[in-house]
Structure 1
Amino acid sequence: MTLHLAKLTLNLQSSEARRDLADPYDMHRTLNRAFAGSDGLSPFLWRLEDCRPGDLPVILVQSKDAPNWQQLPERWSVDQAQRVWEPEKVILPGQWVRFRVLVNPTISTVPKGVEVQGSARGYRKRLGLIKAEDQLSWFQRQGQRLGLHRVSATVVRSGKVRSSKKKGHPMTVVITLLEGQALVADVAALARGIGTGIGHARMLGLGLISVAPL
């Protein structure tokens, strides 16, 4: 699997960039311009990186298709660095890796008071996990799907992100930034997870997992 990974440094003098930083739905919509010819419902993943006071904001964008950054608004970014990589050629089975991921940890449950007859499908509601221990347990399960063993993760920060333009309705989701290390047991499963992302609300800048060998 070949992936395109870009690092975009945003220009705070741009009104479009400031608007996008204020609402992740707007950010996704702007980035989508670079993938106008792509097929599929979610052709790219992105994440707004944490930065120190005074630093310019940085966006990571990963995709299977080559982006066309010329389609972004003029002066929207001040720097664009990108590379092409293949996870299967960089990551080896039995190798320790470090990871970083901003996710929407959730569980799917049937609300109290709802009487289910037959299948619970259609009755379930997705709820965000607030407690750090629940978020870490959620990621342990995700790690198994990613082919990772001996996962050691830390919650760097946790909170909520709000978007006002999801189908015209306000949308608030729980987010948590996780960092840690793990042992790779299944390279193919990990590569798939890197390519497709993990968890929900990916259009809001969630689910992109960055992995590098230790």
Structure 2
Amino acid sequence: MYLSRLRPSIRSRAYRRDHADVQHMHRTLMSAFPEVDADGSARKENGLLWRLDRSDAGHMLLVQSAVEPDWAQLPDDYLAAPAETRSMAAVFEAIVPGRELAFRCTANPTRIVRDPKAPKFERGRRVALHDEKSRLGWIARKGEQHGFEIPATHDGALAVDVVPLPPAIGYKGTSSRRSKITVSPAQFDGRLVVTDADAFAEAVRTGIGRAKAYGCGLLSLAPVPFV
């Protein structure tokens, strides 16, 4: 597995286009990876996950992949600094049961809503979770599913902060038949404890939640700071 840090240039017209349309961003990042058979998913085959972090210092794209990328395929003016790519071997070596780690994840918390009057076989409607309580419940359930738990703080709250992010918008299809993509992401920053190393390692490799092609699901890990 590889992790790349890309510092895009806000002067780049291509980057400004991608920043405004997550479908374009997905296509641009995929250009750095080999094509796959038509029957497969190029994103899944290449293990692509990405996240855009914003700060006063500017924008940073984090790109995780199972295949080493070729960032020379990006437009010439896309990056403000050379891309940095490194192996994630040390990250996976740190995944052992009982290990406490700091984490960040931009995710797309959702749930299924079903009409109680509808037939049992009928699928429900997926809706975004917008309030903090629902989002905290979502990340706790993902922990149960993916081999980690979020510890409690001294006052009994979960050791994670939830920051709502602006909607991510994109468009699929042709100009005559376009469909709009809307993702309601939230950023989770906190601490977790590994409970099942194999399940958690798989979650790190493949991401958690939905909208993985659109900047959601990537888990960043770091040692817990000593206080």
For residue 82 of structure 1, what is the aligned residue in structure 2?
85
Show structure 1 runs of 5+ residues with no match. none
Q: Compare the two structures and name the one with the higher strand fraction.
A: 1
Cα deviation, 1:28-65, whole Å, max 9, x if unaligned, reads: 1100100133565223000000211xx33110000001
Cα deviation, 1:154-206, whole Å, max 9, x if unaligned, reads: 1123442222x123211212111111101111111111001101111111111
Residue 103 of structure 2 contacts residue 219 of structure 2 at CA under 8 Å; is this kept in 1?
yes
1:181 equivalent among 160, 170, 191: 191
User: By how many angstroms is 1:82 displaced?
Assistant: 1.4
Aligned residues: 205
Show structure 2 runs of 5+ residues with no match. 152-158
Structure 2 length-normalised TM: 0.84
Name the CA distance, whole Å, in 1 between partners of 2:180 and 2:193: 39
User: By how many angstroms is 1:90 displaced?
Assistant: 2.4
Residue 49 of structure 2 contacts residue 207 of structure 2 at CA under 8 Å; is this kept in 1?
yes
For residue 138 of structure 2, what is the aligned residue in structure 1?
138
Moved over 6 A (4+): none
Residue 155 of structure 1 contacts residue 177 of structure 1 at CA under 8 Å; is this kept in 2?
yes
1:61 equivalent among 56, 60, 63: 63
Q: How does 1:35-54 map to 2 (within 5 A)?
A: 35-38=33-36, 40-41=40-41, 42=43, 43=46, 44-52=48-56
CA RMSD of aligned residues (A): 1.7
Structure 1 length-normalised TM: 0.89
Name the CA distance, whole Å, in 2 between partners of 1:110 and 1:174: 20
User: By how many angstroms is 1:212 displaced?
Assistant: 1.8
1:161 aligns with 2:176: no
Identity %: 33
1:190 aligns with 2:200: yes
Residue 88 of structure 1 contacts residue 187 of structure 1 at CA under 8 Å; is this kept in 2?
no
Name the CA distance, whole Å, in 2 between partners of 1:9 and 1:150: 31
